[in-house]
């Protein structure tokens, strides 16, 4: 069955430090891959997405992610974290269904805490 794994439930980093959030997926074909961020009391906001082509994807707020087919991974990175990045981050996979539509499978999320 298709699944998305975010192995880190919580991550704490100091402001200005680099960040990497891990995401692994289980799917037979190359999926459509997404990273979302959710701040407290708000809905999810798309950070970036990958469909094909260059495996290093740039997103908003200085985030980037790298697709590695051999590792079934799509890790999110930021070179220097700001206090405003404290939020919960979700990795998701988009899949076509046999009925001709599509669906999304989300990971359980990683909560990021930023120390001043």
Partner 1 sequence: ETGVTQTPRHLVMGMTNKKSLKCEQHLGHNAMYWYKQSAKKPLELMFVYNFKEQTENNSVPSRFSPECPNSSHLFLHLHTLQPEDSALYLCASSQWGIRDTQYFGPGTRLTVL
The residues of the shown chain that bind partner 1, judged by CB under 8 A, are 4, 32, 41-46, 49, 51, 90, 92, 94-97, 99, 101-109
Query: What are 103's two structure tokens?
Result: 């669906």
Q: How far apart are the first and last CA of the chain?
A: 41
Identify which of residues 28 and 43 has a Cβ nearer to partner 1 in the complex: 43
Residue 69 phi/psi, 5-degree rounding, is: -60, -40
CB of 17 to partner 1, least distance (A): 26
Q: How far is the CB of 18 from partner 1 (least distance, A)?
A: 26
Closest approach, Cβ 70 to partner 1, in A, equals 24
Integer CA distances (angstroms), 79 to 14, 21, 27, 52, 76, in order: 12, 12, 29, 24, 10
Task: Pick the closer one to partner 1 by CB: 42 or 70.
Answer: 42
């Amino acid at each position: 069955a298709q699944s998305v794994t975010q192995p880190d439930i919580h991550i704490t980093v100091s402001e200005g430090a680099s960040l990497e959030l891990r995401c692994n997926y289980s799917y037979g074909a190359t999926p459509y891959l997404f990273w979302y961020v959710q701040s407290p009391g708000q809905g999810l906001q798309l950070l970036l997405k990958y469909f094909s082509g260059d495996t290093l994807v740039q997103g908003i707020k200085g985030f980037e992610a790298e697709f590695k087919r051999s590792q079934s991974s799509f890790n999110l990175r930021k070179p220097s974290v700001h206090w405003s990045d404290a939020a919960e981050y979700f990795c998701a996979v988009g899949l076509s269904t046999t009925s001709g539509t599509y669906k999304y499978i989300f990971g359980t999320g990683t909560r990021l805490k930023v120390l001043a």
